[in-house]
Amino acid sequence: MLELKNISKTYKSQKGNECRAVDGISIDFGESGLIFVCGKSGSGKSTLLNLMSGMDGVDGGEIVIAGKSSKDFKQSDFDVYRNTYVGFIFQDFSIIEELSIRENIEMSLKLQNKEVKSENIETALKQVDLDGYGERRSFELSGGQRQRVSIARALIKNPKIIFADEPTGSLDTNTGRQIFELFKELSQDRLIIVVSHDIDSALIYGDRIIELADGRVVSDKTKVSDVDLRRFKAEYQSKVDESFVETKARETQNKEIFERIDTKLPTRHAVKISAANFKQKKIQFIITMLLTICSLTVFALSYVMKSYNYHDASLNTFQKLNVNTLLAVNQKEVLDENGEVTNQAIEFDYETVGSVVSDTGRAYPAFRQTVPIEQYAPLGKEEKYKTKINLFVELGESIDAKNLGSFYHAELIIGSFPRANQNAVEIMISDYLADGIMYYGAVFDGNYTVYPNTGYGYILNSVIAYNGIELKIVGIFKTDYREMDFETRNNFRAEFNLANIYSAALTTTDALFNAAKKSYALPVSACLYETGKEDDYIKQTLYLTSAGSVAELLGASMFFVNVKYADGHNANTSLIDNEIVISYSVLNDILGSYDDFDDIEESFLSGLSLGITLFDIERNPVAQNVKIAAVFDDTSMPDLKYAAAVTPAMKEIYTRDSLIVANLFIPLDGKKSADAKLLSYLEERNIEYTTYATGELKMMDTLFKMLTQILDGVSLIMFLFVLILLYNFIASSINSKKKEIGILRAIGARGKDIAK
């Protein structure tokens, strides 16, 4: 059944010294019998027991179990070997205190995945004289009774081998005698190997005595007759020698078949045993759990902040605050001084405006125009500043209460709605603008004065002169600016020229544009440069007029003004698109190469073309390769210095492009799905939207992104710290459960059962 072949085991101390605990031992234990392994402390008895049971691995040699060599064994095979063939009995009884006597005994069967029958447990208890003790706990039993429980636990699975390590070392003489008598009876049909110092019991009960010294077998004797120590005590040694002879080797029985029963530790028992760790380490467990909860909380906060969606938050906020209009700002990505990509607000080009208006069906352009309103200043008092209207918003072919309410969540207070007007651009202004005018007073059109606090009626029908265009105030509408807190409202009024939705003036579609087209000479700020020399440009304001020819531009003045024409042109030659008539001063500013008008060669003009970019060189050019049809001498006529003539079609192009679209006003639909699509649409085109509520939302978005990075780091550090605490908790728990673990391993539990 069990045979050792030249096995050895060496241990190394912390200082590196080697200790050979077992040194080339070969023993054939046979099939049955009560065999004692004796020797002094340090002789190698316990090490040999651990090697035979597979609790420890050999360094050399092999163990043959039921015909199978340990050389072919993995650790799991040793677990199966203990579970299938071996019963363990320990000196300290090794009863699992958390379990009852019945549960301790049935553990052996549970690990074999066998059905546990009550009659089998009762039989095992009766076999060791403990019938009726099944529901008791270990602390209710005496030492002898506990050892009997250990024996019953070993016997219940009917093992072929029982290992007993000093089984009576903690018992009184009478109880120890009862245990060995039980062993003697049980050894008739199984192999019982006892490691003991009790040589007297070995002589009385043992069928074979193996004595170890320094890791070697120094004596291996088989009993051939009974020994009566009471009779032969005086002649002990001589009688021993007469009663024992050298053990003869027997032939190995290789025909035996190695069987296996896989282990299975019940979850109920695993939980019951492991739960005791929490009771023993309450403070450590509580601290670990609190830190775990904190770590998970920080991680959850980080996750929640990551899931924050700026668009969803905006829509929810807009609904709660009844915000129904967005101010859209065009953007482009630029590199800042640190080399990081940032968004910079830019004007809308008309292609983008047309696309957004077409795609959304409800976008209104806001022209950025600074329209000064001179502040009223009594004699002797200096005016503080000039009030300004900063935006013109187109609302449609006509404005009524419906689209005013839909667009601006506003209502008409006084006056009427703007209509198309051939003589002036009718506008309506907000109560915010009107209150500013009432607070400081104003001078309209240079000759009409509105005094402070005289009432809205004095503002109506006032005319503001703007680059030759008349802007007529016909109505005042109410906004929610009065609902702001006092300090914010007064700051707004003190900063009246702040460009925001409250300083917008509303007008009908294309009203400003159509008036500008009708203006005889529209001031157009432009960057002019010789084509191909974009880096050498000048900024100039031209007063554009549409004219069919030079004669039409100069009229009667042409009889007093010298003109030089490009090839093929004269005073009456009709201008075509992409041709322009400019003054000598403007041409000289562009080229910087003429000291006198007479130096200009007409042949040179034919090969010269200009590039024109409105307002800023960073804008897309409005026109390139513009041909100069003629240049007139403005030396004696300074009023014509910045006059220029183009065709009506070109003037319309220059006029529209000169009106900068700073923003788009986009009413919300009110349905969350439709508005969500709108916000996604704007984001895809890098168009930012804003309202008076988006400042806080943007700040929150930025804060969440920053906090997410911080919380990610904090949660990671805390999580690692928790892992260390958990590892320490588990490691200390394992250390405190060495006894229980040893018991479970001894009775056949596998590594995964212990982990469970």
Over residues 240-288, the pLDDT tens digits come to 677 777 777 766 556 667 777 777 888 888 888 888 777 777 888 888 8
Residue range 551-584, pLDDT digits in tens: 888 887 877 888 999 988 999 999 999 999 999 9
129: pLDDT strictly greater than 70: yes
Q: How confident is the model at residue 495 (pLDDT cuts 50, 70, 90)?
A: very low
Q: Is-contact 371 464, C-beta < 8 A?
A: yes
Residue range 200-243, pLDDT digits in tens: 889 999 999 999 999 999 999 999 988 776 666 666 667 667 77
Helices (H), 477-594: 486-494, 511-518, 550-554, 584-591
Kindly list the distances between the CA atom of residue 403 and the CA atoms of 460, 572, 721, in Å, as whole numbers in the listed order.
Answer: 21, 50, 61
Report DSSP letters for 311-366, one per residue: HHHHHHHHHHHT--EEEEEEEEEEE-TTS-EEEEEEPBPHHHHHHHHHHHS--EEE
Tokens of 574: 């009709």
The pLDDT assigned to 114 comes to 87
The pLDDT assigned to 489 comes to 54
Kindly list the distances between the CA atom of residue 295 and the CA atoms of 285, 287, 290, 299, 708, in Å, as whole numbers in the listed order.
Answer: 15, 12, 9, 6, 14
Residue range 426-448, pLDDT digits in tens: 999 988 888 888 888 888 876 78
The pLDDT assigned to 417 comes to 92
Residue range 304-340, pLDDT digits in tens: 888 888 888 888 888 887 777 788 888 887 777 777 8
CA distance linking residue 376 with residue 373, whole number of Å: 9
Helices (H), 495-647: 511-518, 550-554, 584-591, 602-606
Q: Is-contact 112 79, C-beta < 8 A?
A: no
Taking the CB of residue 346, how many other CB atoms lie within 10 A of it? 18
Phi then psi for 326, rounded to 5 degrees?
Answer: -105, 145
CA-wise closest residue to 542 among 620, 465, 467, 641: 641
The pLDDT assigned to 692 comes to 64
| Mean pLDDT, the chain, integer | 84
23: pLDDT strictly greater than 90: yes
450: pLDDT strictly greater than 70: yes
Taking the CB of residue 355, how many other CB atoms lie within 10 A of it? 14
CA-wise closest residue to 182 among 224, 144, 127, 131: 127
